[in-house]
Every structure is written in C-alpha cells, then in structure tokens.
Structure 1
Amino acid sequence: MKFPVLTLITLSAALSGAASATSYPLTLKDDLGRTVTVKAEPRRIVSMLPSTSETLCAIAACEKLVGVDTYSDFPQQVTKLPKMGGLYDPNIEAIIAQKPDLVLVSKYGKLEGPLTQAGITVVAVNPETYDEVFSKTLTLGRVVNREAQAKALVTRMRSDIARVEILTRNVVRKPTAYLEIDPTPYSVGPNSFMGVLLTKAGARNIIPASMGDFPKVDPEFIVKANPQLILGVDAKTAGARPGWNSIGALKTGRVVSIPTELNTMLGRPGPRLPQALRGLAKIVHPDLFK
C-alpha cells in the first residue's frame, strides 16, 4: 500500500510526539531529596523561580503558567501574570488561590511545607552547576509533558554555546578574573554554572573549586590573587576598597560593571545561557567580536 509523502511525514511526527509523551502518574526525586508523584499532566502551574519561568516558556509550556514569582520578567508574557511574591517572602494565600495543580520551587525558601499541607503538588527544581542547567531542563520537560521540546532546547543551547567556544577556546592570553555577584563580596566557583561560563568565555577564575560554587570571599584573598580582570563591580567602588588599588585590573582599567540585562541572564540557569556566554565573552575578549 502506498501513502502520500505528506501523510508519512505527519504520521512520523505524531509517532515521535507520542513516543516522547510523559506517562502519568510520574514519580521522581526532586532537588529537596523528596519523592514526589505528579498524578496527571499539570494544567495550572505556579513558578517561583525566574529561571524556571523562562524554561517553561522556552519549551512551549507558557500557557500553563497561572502565577510567577516577583522577579520573573522574561519572556514578556510572564510579566502579565499574577505575582506570588519572592523566594523568602512568598504569598502563600495568593498561590493557593490560583488553584495550581503544580508549584515549582527552589530548594531554598521552605515553600514546600505549607503548600504540600494544602494538598498542592510541589516539585523543587534548582540547577546550580552547569550540567544541571541541561539535566533540569529535561526534568521540567518530563514533568509538564514537553519532553521533546526540552530535548530540542538543550540541543540548541549546546550548539549555540559551542559557537562561542570556537572563538574563545584557543585564545593565547586568558586573563585571570574575579566575578562579583554581591558586594559582600560573593563570587562564583569554577564548577557553578556561572563559573563554567566565565571559563568558556576565555578567562581564568581566581576562585578555586575548594571554596564552593557561590562562596563569600575574603577581600584580602582577592588582593593577593591580583586578577587581571574584575567583573560585576564598577571601578570607583573597587578602588575605594582597602588595598584594591594595587590589583592589576584597576591599574590597567579592566574593571567592568556588567550591564543589567546581561547580569540578569548570567544569574539565571536557564535557556538564555548561550546569550549570557556570548555577552560575557565580548567583555573578556572584545577583539574576538569586532
């Protein structure tokens, strides 16, 4: 029996989608170490992390969102959704009022307790390392029945990142760098997703892995490490800190306050990781992107 080519293509696509559809009930271990069962495909989701909100929209699940945290602001669609508060000041009543069948949370903030008691399914998805950005994207895809879209997103992200790496991998001079994410100061270790991006951007992180992924750093350590590039703080602020004027980066003017939009992308372990890498690489090696 012969079938028109279009029919075969349509059938193939349908079978592919069916093969990657999530089977419910779905039981998994979340990032709080809890065994959670998602009984059916979620239709009403509250996301309490900006990176999770972005990922859901990037895997064609934006229409499932009925509420987001205060800081979710990308893509544009999520800015119109009801705000449920922040990680440490959530509006529990507002979340419950949305009648979600799934709330996605961080492993911090202790939201799972009161929401679980209210009979709501809660899953903690909290990527912190570079590889987890991809693995947790796939996890989200399974949870919300968008597995094929999640796999396609991961493939596209890895491809876009590879394009930037082609430019930075063989650079002869890779500056030692300090990336500040909070003036306390807090920085990023080489195994965190931000630390990996810094390395892929063609810099050498002065923070050793032994300090952890997002360590609070002794300012004296930074002075002694003498980085050639300082990111995330402006020159005036850095120069006012005791002993920092002796650091090479200040002497050569290589102190860069990261633009707001790029800073936001860098801080979110989500689908805009490739854009974040490209923006960071342009700062580290501007000559490669002329």
Structure 2
Amino acid sequence: MAAFLPERIVCLTEETVETIYLLGEQDRLVGVSGYAVRPPQVRREKPRVSAFTSADIPKILALRPDLVFAFSDLQADIAADLIRAGVAVHAFNHRNIAGILAMIRTVGALLGASEKADTLVREYEARLAETAAAIRNTPRPKVYFEAWDEPLISGIGWVSELIAIAGGEDVFAEKARQHAAKDRIVTLQEVVAAAPDIILASWCGKKVRPDRISARPGWASIPAVRDGRIFEIKSPLILQPGPAALTDGLDAIVSAISGAAAREP
C-alpha cells in the first residue's frame, strides 16, 4: 500500500513554513501564518489564514487541507476545531535545538522528503558545531535575553542554547527550561543582580527601545547598560523555533557578542 503524502498543507506558525520551502516542497502549501516572512516570497505566494492564538477556521477549511501543522498548547483550541471538522493536525511542541532538528526531520518524513530533511539537519549540526568551536577559548560574557518588556520575560530554551553556542552565558539559563512564558518572568532587581555584560532584546511584534531599557530604575549600574551593549535581534530571526534561529538568529547573537568584545578597552 502506498504511503499517504499530504498535498494541501496549512501551517499555523512560521517555522514549518520555512522548513517546507527549504525542502523544496512549497507547492504543497496552501495557507500560512500571518507571521510567515521567510522566505520573503511567501507573503505574496501564499494566503494568510492565522495569527498565533487565532485562526480563520472557515478560510482554512475552504482551502481543503489534508494536513495542518500547529505549534504549542497555545494553538490547542484551533487544532481541536480543525480536528472536529475532520482535518488531520500535527502539533509540534518543541522548545530546544534538538526539538527544532527533530521538527525538520518529522516534516520531511511526513512529506516523503526524509533524505532532504536529513541533509538539512546535518548542515545545521555542522554549522552549530563550527560556531561553538570557533569561540571555545574566548571569554564568555554574561548575557540577558529579553523576549518581552511588560512584564520582563527572559529567553526560552533554544535561545539560551544559542547564546551558549555563540560564546555567551545566559544569566537566566535555569528559567530557559520553562516552557510557559509566565514561568520565565523576571524582576528589575533580578536583572540588576545578574549584572549582564550584554543585553539582547527581541520584543515580538514591536521595536525594541534601548533608551527605555537603559532608563529602568536601578539599571544604570548594569555593565551592559553602562557600556552601551544593548542589541535588538529581530523577532522573526530568533523567536520562532525553526531554521531562522539556527542561521540568521545565531549569526545575530554571534555578531552582538563579538561586537561587544571588540569594544573592550
């Protein structure tokens, strides 16, 4: 019996969209998340059918998908509505680099493109190893990653791991293991006590304001603030657990850390 291969796929988050394009299987995509921006042509080629916690269910059903990719418990209600309507849904829930690589392999397997997915994963593994090896004997600055500003939310698992690969030390690495954003909330005082040398910020959906970060009560004494080492990383590069984080996201972290090191007196 021939294996079922989906021909009409809807992706409710960006990382599976980018993965499918990288596998060369984009002709199967019939609908994507409104946040999908990689590769750039996706915005003109594919209908947008969802935000992150909401989706246009009638529009999705009208596209007659035979498989929908979702992500995390925050899309559980959307997934349930689609399942009740008879649509097959595969929900990913990964929060670390190993999970990103497993997601790529799983998408490849479901699309009958396992060999291409394995090749892609091996390329990423080699890239990560090369980056880590290049900074093995360099000083490791303390890094605070801010994923949101009201309240302050520190970085999630894959972000923390990428900081380490790029040569930094995540000051809230323990919190990074927590899946829920509410469990990664930090206080102004906790960041002051952590005394990061570098602050990386990526506020999903809005521009980072380094001046506002610097002006927070008590933060003038933080080395990163004192020395002007506050860097924005665009959210599409780092806040999606997919290929972007392993490539351009990692490069942005490396650039910030190496740039800060270059400014050392």
2:243 paired residue number: 271
Aligned partners of 1:179 and 1:187 also within 8 Å: yes
2:230 paired residue number: 255
TM-score by length of 1: 0.80
Give me the whole-angstrom Cα distance separating, in 1, the residues matched to 2:81 and 2:240. Answer: 26
2:112 paired residue number: 145
1:100 paired residue number: 65
**What SS class does the counterpart of residue 119 from structure 2 fall into?**
helix
Look at both structures and tell me which one has the larger radius of gyration over its CA atoms: 1
Once the two structures are TM-superposed, the CA of residue 234 in structure 1 deviates from its matched residue by: 4.1
1:222 paired residue number: 191
Give me the whole-angstrom Cα distance separating, in 1, the residues matched to 2:114 and 2:101. Answer: 12
Once the two structures are TM-superposed, the CA of residue 162 in structure 1 deviates from its matched residue by: 2.2
Among 194, 199, 206, which residue is 2:164 paired with? 199
Aligned partners of 1:130 and 1:193 also within 8 Å: yes
Among 119, 126, 131, which residue is 2:93 paired with? 126
Give me the whole-angstrom Cα distance separating, in 1, the residues matched to 2:254 and 2:2. Answer: 41
What is the aligned-residue identity percentage?
Answer: 27
**What SS class does the counterpart of residue 49 from structure 2 fall into?**
coil
Cα 1:211–1:45 change in 2 (3 A) is: closer
Question: Are 1:66 and 2:30 an aligned pair?
Answer: yes
Give me the whole-angstrom Cα distance separating, in 1, the residues matched to 2:120 and 2:93. Answer: 18
**What SS class does the counterpart of residue 181 from structure 1 fall into?**
strand
1:237 paired residue number: 212
Once the two structures are TM-superposed, the CA of residue 163 in structure 1 deviates from its matched residue by: 2.4
2:145 paired residue number: 179
Give me the whole-angstrom Cα distance separating, in 1, the residues matched to 2:22 and 2:2. Answer: 21
Cα 1:245–1:265 change in 2 (3 A) is: same
Give me the whole-angstrom Cα distance separating, in 2, the residues matched to 1:76 and 1:248. Answer: 37
1:30 paired residue number: none
Cα 1:122–1:162 change in 2 (3 A) is: same
TM-score by length of 2: 0.87
Give me the whole-angstrom Cα distance separating, in 2, the residues matched to 1:267 and 1:82. Answer: 22
Question: Are 1:43 and 2:4 an aligned pair?
Answer: no
Once the two structures are TM-superposed, the CA of residue 287 in structure 1 deviates from its matched residue by: 7.8
Q: Which runs of 4+ in 1 moved over 2 A?
A: 210-214, 286-289
Aligned partners of 1:133 and 1:269 also within 8 Å: yes
**What SS class does the counterpart of residue 41 from structure 1 fall into?**
coil
Once the two structures are TM-superposed, the CA of residue 279 in structure 1 deviates from its matched residue by: 2.1
Give me the whole-angstrom Cα distance separating, in 2, the residues matched to 1:42 and 1:193. Answer: 29
Once the two structures are TM-superposed, the CA of residue 288 in structure 1 deviates from its matched residue by: 8.3
Give me the whole-angstrom Cα distance separating, in 1, the residues matched to 2:23 and 2:94. Answer: 17
Give me the whole-angstrom Cα distance separating, in 2, the residues matched to 1:144 and 1:47. Answer: 13
2:21 paired residue number: 57
Could you tell me which runs of 5 or more consecutive residues in structure 2 were left unpaired when the two chains were aligned.
Answer: 202-207
Greater mean alpha carbon deviation, residues 219-228 or residues 44-53:
219-228
**What SS class does the counterpart of residue 111 from structure 1 fall into?**
helix
Could you tell me which runs of 5 or more consecutive residues in structure 1 were left unpaired when the two chains were aligned.
Answer: 1-21, 25-39
2:205 paired residue number: none
Give me the whole-angstrom Cα distance separating, in 1, the residues matched to 2:32 and 2:169. Answer: 36
Count of matched residue pairs: 247
